[in-house]
């Protein structure tokens, strides 16, 4: 069953990337139809990812963490971007943007966040990647169509790794950082919250988490967020953050 799911997912991914190439580089080729195909395949990819990795959607009102994530998503709504926020029970310290306008937050990084404001910064960073289509660009640049068409079990593992662990380029990471800063300032949250989170993870872990281990370097990124004076956020939430973390 799992092998068939991976096969179907890989086929969808090939079609998705093909539609993206035509829509981006050949706008004269019935662009409206290509756009429809692109959007349809992106939606199917999202459904397959949810099934393959058992992601849980925020706002489902079934657990404390999903309710809390739903509240943060509402706070971080974007007029020109409809995205969905998901929780993964992975211990890996990571968060990532995926095709289908998905943002996945791992349990590992939630446990590192002392405050919801820190997690807001992480989510805002991933929204930045989505708004600028970095996830599609990175996938296309990293994973050749020939590899996708191979369809072997090793290919499935490679796709999974690329989707969840690939580091973005210097330019992409800088753009996402800048968006996170802009969004946090709009919410009257000091970007220094992200500096606190990054410093803490950098000191505690024996390795640099993948989403931190990219250009610009971690020290430069910490310095950038630290340049903003730290002020306690005045935001009020309906949930108790410590209880949310203890529920995991």
Per-residue pLDDT of the chain (248 residues; tens, 9 = 90+): 445 554 555 555 555 555 555 555 555 444 555 455 556 667 777 787 788 788 999 987 789 999 999 999 999 999 999 999 999 999 988 898 887 889 999 999 999 999 999 999 999 999 999 998 866 666 655 555 444 444 444 455 555 555 655 567 788 888 999 999 999 999 999 999 999 998 888 777 655 555 555 545 778 888 999 999 999 999 999 999 999 999 99
Computed over every residue of the chain, the mean pLDDT equals: 78
**What pLDDT was estimated at residue 146?**
43
**What pLDDT was estimated at residue 207?**
53
Task: For residues 49 and 103, give the distance between their C-alpha atoms in angstroms, rounded to a whole number.
Answer: 12
Which H helix or E strand runs over 56? strand 56-57
Domain that holds residue 17: 2-246
**What pLDDT was estimated at residue 166?**
57
Whether the CB-CB separation of 199 and 148 falls below 8 Å is answered with no
Residue count (the chain): 248
Cβ density class 98-112: b for 16+ within 10 Å, e for less = bbbbbbbbbbbbbeb
Strands 95-98 and 84-88: unpaired
**What pLDDT was estimated at residue 153?**
46
**What pLDDT was estimated at residue 145?**
46
**What pLDDT was estimated at residue 9?**
54
Which H helix or E strand runs over 98? strand 95-98
Could you give the number of structural domains in the chain? 1
| Closest to 89 (Cα-Cα) out of 66, 68, 70 | 66
**What pLDDT was estimated at residue 22?**
53
């Amino acid at each position: 069953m799992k092998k068939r799911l991976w096969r179907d997912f890989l086929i969808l991914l090939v079609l998705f990337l093909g539609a993206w190439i035509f829509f981006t580089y050949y706008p004269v080729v019935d662009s409206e139809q290509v756009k429809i195909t692109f959007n349809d395949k992106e939606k199917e990819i999202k459904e397959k990812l949810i099934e393959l990795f058992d992601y849980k959607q925020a706002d489902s009102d079934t657990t404390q963490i999903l309710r809390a994530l739903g509240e943060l998503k509402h706070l971080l709504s974007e007029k020109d971007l409809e995205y969905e926020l998901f929780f993964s029970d992975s211990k890996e310290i990571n968060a990532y943007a995926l095709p289908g306008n998905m943002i996945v937050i791992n349990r590992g990084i939630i446990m590192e966040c002392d405050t919801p404001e820190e997690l807001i910064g992480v989510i805002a960073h991933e929204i930045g990647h989505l708004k600028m289509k970095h996830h599609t660009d990175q996938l296309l640049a990293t994973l050749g169509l020939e590899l996708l068409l191979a369809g072997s079990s090793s290919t499935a593992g490679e796709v999974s790794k690329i989707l969840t662990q690939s580091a973005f380029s210097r330019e992409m990471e800088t753009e996402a950082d800048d968006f996170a800063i802009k969004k946090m300032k709009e919410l009257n949250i000091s970007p220094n919250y992200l500096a606190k989170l990054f410093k803490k993870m950098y000191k505690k872990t024996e390795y640099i988490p993948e989403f931190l281990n990219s250009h610009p370097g971690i020290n430069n990124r910490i310095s950038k967020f630290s340049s903003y004076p730290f002020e306690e956020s005045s935001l009020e939430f309906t949930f108790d953050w410590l209880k949310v973390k203890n529920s995991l």
